[in-house]
Structure 1
């Protein structure tokens, strides 16, 4: 099995090297970083490992990113954009589900599937040194806010609906922190923890 996995990885690296001159090197590097993060966790994210997985020379990384922190910042931006997109798609295909439920479940599924990336995203945001990370987080928040406001605007003033949506976004981050703290190292949060949080929020909103 290990040999098969190594062969697949080697094939992917060779393919990236073939497309290096015509492809988007930044995208290749971010894709490589995402794969390593998912497979090995933060400890595996060395620039040399990312360059090797991306199929480029180590010096090429520095041409596109000043240092490892810059590359991780780019990974955080990409993560927030992924989060925004999965929530947008969930809302657009929600059927009879509310905006809160559709985008909320998409948010929690993202957390469940990509816990390492989620933690990296908010560490980069909390570092406070990159405007592009803050802007990407704000874009994701805006997707959630628009969907939730649509749920509440008929029952509350637009201003109050906005405040409710902001509070729910903050709640999402809070429950993510709690869920991740209870998870096994390197693993996503347990479904039971997330389900309890969803039920609790629903009861609070419904006033039960």
Structure 2
């Protein structure tokens, strides 16, 4: 039987701590998570928390940002086969149907956003993840000839985040109800182009 190396054991401890951090953020809230909780949930000695991470906050930040990156990186991939911009939108809204606003992943993201309002470094990391997603969404909209794809991607991303927050308050807020409204953003660019000159500072006469 092959022996587990020290490096492999270290990676496994980090993996368990990161997974435990995601669970505890959703269950207890960002500021309530402690070293003891993390160690108990991961099944490791408390000293290993600070051996592998500079602080509990650093562990929580890495866990939350990693979970957000994993989730958002999958969404555009699932939309690559869309035949038109409306299918892209329908795919985004379908993802929301898997959430309640109170499910663990939603709570994790909401807690991370709140923590980022008080932490410049975390805010920059989350902003970078969101920007990556927005860029990939922009590329999809550009492919399907949507006017002002960069700004449309920004609005759709913000709308999805807003719905995620409001689903806990308004359970009946479904993708089917939102699709006709958000679909109005997907108007094709005049003449088959992608840039709206009036939005970009062109001739407004």
In the superposition, the TM-score normalised over structure 2's length comes to 0.68
What is the correspondence of 1:35-74 to structure 2 with a 5 Å cutoff?
35-38=23-26, 40-42=27-29, 45-74=33-62
2:140 matches 1:147: yes
Which deviates the most, 91-100 or 65-74?
Answer: 91-100
Which segments of structure 1 move beyond 4 Å, counting only runs of 4 or more?
A: 93-97, 110-113, 203-206
Q: CA deviation at 1:100?
A: 2.4
Relative to 1, partners in 2 of residues 1:72 and 1:108: Cα closer, same or farther, differing over 3 Å? Answer: farther
C-alpha displacement at 1:80, in angstroms? 1.6
Q: Which moved more, 1:104-113 or 1:169-178?
A: 104-113
Higher relative contact order (CA 8 A, sep 6+): 2
Q: What count of residue pairs does the alignment treat as equivalent?
A: 175
Give the match for residue 11 of structure 1. none
In structure 2, relative to structure 1, the CA distance for the partners of 1:50 and 1:178 (3 Å cut) is same
Q: Do the aligned partners of 1:84 and 1:143 also contact (CA within 8 Å) in 2?
A: no
Q: Higher helix proportion, which one?
A: 1
Query: Larger C-alpha radius of gyration, 1 or 2?
Result: 2
Q: Provide the rounded CA distance (Å) in 2 between the counterparts of 1:78 and 1:127.
A: 19
TM-score, normalised relative to structure 1: 0.67
- Structure 2 residues without counterparts, runs of 5 or longer: 1-6, 188-205
**Structure 1 gap segments, 5+ residues each:** 1-18, 184-189
Query: Does the CA contact (< 8 Å) of 1:47 and 1:68 recur in 2?
Result: yes
Output one character per residue of 1:59-103: Cα deviation in whole Å (capped at 9) or x when no partner: 111122232322221122112212213303321455777222223
Q: Does 1:129 align with 2:120?
A: yes
